[in-house]
Amino acid sequence: MKRLLIVITLLALMLPSAAVVSAQAEPIISVCLVTDLGRVNDGTFNQYAYEGMVRVAEDLNLDSRFIETVAQTDYEANIATCVDEGFDAIITVGFLIADATAAAAAANPEVYFIGVDQFHANPLPNLVGIQFREDQAGFLVGALAAQVSETGKIAGVYGIDIPPVRKFRNGFEQGALYVNPDIEIAGVYIPDFIAPQLGAEAAEQFVADGFDVIFGAGGPTGSGGIVRAAELGAYVIGVDQDEWVTTFGSGETPGADRIITSALKRVDQGVYDMVALLAEGEALPEDSLYLMDAAVDGVGFAPAHDAVVDEEVTASVQEIFEMLASGDLTTGVDPVTGDLVTDEAMGEMTIAEIAISNPDFSTLVELVVAAGLADVLSDPDATFTVFAPTNDAFAAVPPEVLEVLAADPALLTRVLTYHVLGEVLTSEQLVELASAETMEMEAVGEPTTGSEVTFTLTEDGGLMVDGANVIAADIMASNGVIHVIDAVIVPAEILEMLAGE
């Protein structure tokens, strides 16, 4: 039933998102927040961002205020008000305000800017975008929805079609399909975040058509959808915050027994973290990105509260969460654009591009770059088979061995190229061959006689490469194929040398 979904991301999302410049800055003493369309008590991410600001301001004794945005045309003026009033840091909420935020940051280098749901391709030292893996949160609640649905039909009521909303939708649908490939899924984008009546009308139509689980992801528009769906007896799923608490008044609002979970984004914690960093005199992340994903509990799913959800279902979703957090499972959704990742898109990328774009290969990428092999594996005219160890595989290598390799580039190059064959071989071809010669190098451009690497089948039909398990096979690239392995493989003569040191 389960299948591996490989996610393609941008390089910026692969790099450590919380790495900061070591230089100390003057601690901030004040912070101002500008909402997206909506209010600070709207029960979704405006409120969550506001609560994060209030909490950090109280904890660290900061002056604070907020400005509620009525229309998109007010973005620049509201930010300017915070600047003119002398606030040290300004929080802006939402994807739609990102351009105004970047422009203000460039024009006011002495003021810090924290953008919620924003990705800034041109980093600035006074600017950070807090990004969330909405696709992971959506995946979790989609998996739950597919197990709770009695009709086999689930739907979503979404706000404006922008990347964060698209990530929620595609993640939701991918999670549902992961659990039940035959599930029927529908959804609609509504070009307004503050139109609860439009959300309600869309939900009403879905329920009339037999969809019995409705996900609302689009601010008050989505909330209007799930309130109406709950009134009609459907199961519903909230977004951003735990909407059993907000939209359904901690169980006091009719329909509270129909909300089975919410796709959580820890907007409050992201805001708290970045403001606290500045209040402590630290610099913002140097790549202008702070990523909140499952690995840092930046996203998740809310408990069922009053709704009846089998413990086994909840346990299965928790297991999926842990797999997403560890990198053992990915969503199949691009975490920047929100688009689905296709096999065709992956096949157009080189092996190096695929490795760079997948966070689970970050250690491998760092070592390949250190060894000077990035250009080799990026060559579109060459062909390779690469056995790619995961981050966990490198973490299992004794630190003293990694130190030896890091200190000897030629040795590191030999170990890395022991993971490479100079031709394209699928998993089926590897089994037929039983062994092949690797393309080891003493250094870049200085090939040596390769070592023999062996391929065997386990009793349960799994493929092994020199004792390492292949955990994902036949990831096709434009210049070859990748087989993901769970251990680092090393030539026998190097193992003997390392054992003697």
Domain boundaries, the chain: 11-131+268-293, 134-264+298-326, 343-499
Mean pLDDT of 51-74: 96
Better-predicted residue by pLDDT, 499 or 322: 322
What's residue 369's pLDDT?
A: 83
Count Cβ atoms within 10 A of the Cβ of residue 125 and give its class: 0-12 exposed, 13-18 middle, 19 or more buried: middle
Better-predicted residue by pLDDT, 18 or 126: 126
Q: What percent of the chain has pLDDT over 70?
A: 91
Domains 134-264+298-326 and 343-499 belong to one CATH topology: no
Pairing outcome for strands 435-437 and 452-457? antiparallel
Quickly name the fold that domain 11-131+268-293 has: Rossmann fold (3.40.50)
Instruction: Give the pLDDT band of residue 60 (cuts 50, 70, 90).
Output: very high
What's residue 426's pLDDT?
A: 92
Of residues 162, 291, 140, 155, the one with CA closest to residue 219: 162
Residue 164 has pLDDT above 60, yes or no: yes
What's residue 20's pLDDT?
A: 38
Quickly name the fold that domain 134-264+298-326 has: Rossmann fold (3.40.50)
What's residue 234's pLDDT?
A: 98
What's residue 404's pLDDT?
A: 86
- What 3-state DSSP class applies to 494? helix
DSSP string, 33-57: EEEEES-TTSSSHHHHHHHHHHHHH
Better-predicted residue by pLDDT, 366 or 227: 227
Residue 9 has pLDDT above 70, yes or no: no
What's residue 7's pLDDT?
A: 30
Q: How far apart are CA 203 and CA 216, in angstroms?
A: 9
In tens, the pLDDT along 353-402 reads 888 767 678 788 888 888 888 888 778 888 999 999 998 899 998 888 88
Residue 250 has pLDDT above 60, yes or no: yes
What's residue 17's pLDDT?
A: 40
Count Cβ atoms within 10 A of the Cβ of residue 101 and give its class: 0-12 exposed, 13-18 middle, 19 or more buried: buried
Longest dimension (CA), the chain: 74
Q: How far apart are CA 298 and CA 148, in angstroms?
A: 25
Better-predicted residue by pLDDT, 131 or 496: 131
What's residue 23's pLDDT?
A: 41
Counting every residue written for the chain, the total comes to 501
Better-predicted residue by pLDDT, 438 or 312: 312
What's residue 12's pLDDT?
A: 36
What's residue 193's pLDDT?
A: 93
Mean pLDDT of 79-85: 98
Mean pLDDT of 196-205: 98
Better-predicted residue by pLDDT, 347 or 152: 152
Strand order through the sheet with 480-485:
420-421, 384-389, 480-485, 468-477, 463-465, 452-457, 435-437
In tens, the pLDDT along 426-471 reads 998 998 999 998 886 655 556 566 788 999 998 888 899 998 999 9
Residue 19 has pLDDT above 70, yes or no: no
What's residue 50's pLDDT?
A: 97
Pairing outcome for strands 30-37 and 89-93? parallel
In tens, the pLDDT along 313-330 reads 999 999 999 999 987 788
- Assigned token pair, 233: 């007896």
CA angle 413, 418, 424 (to 5 degrees): 120
Class of domain 343-499: mainly beta
Give residue 6's Cα distance to chain centre: 12
Does the CA dihedral 254-256-262-268 come out positive or negative? positive
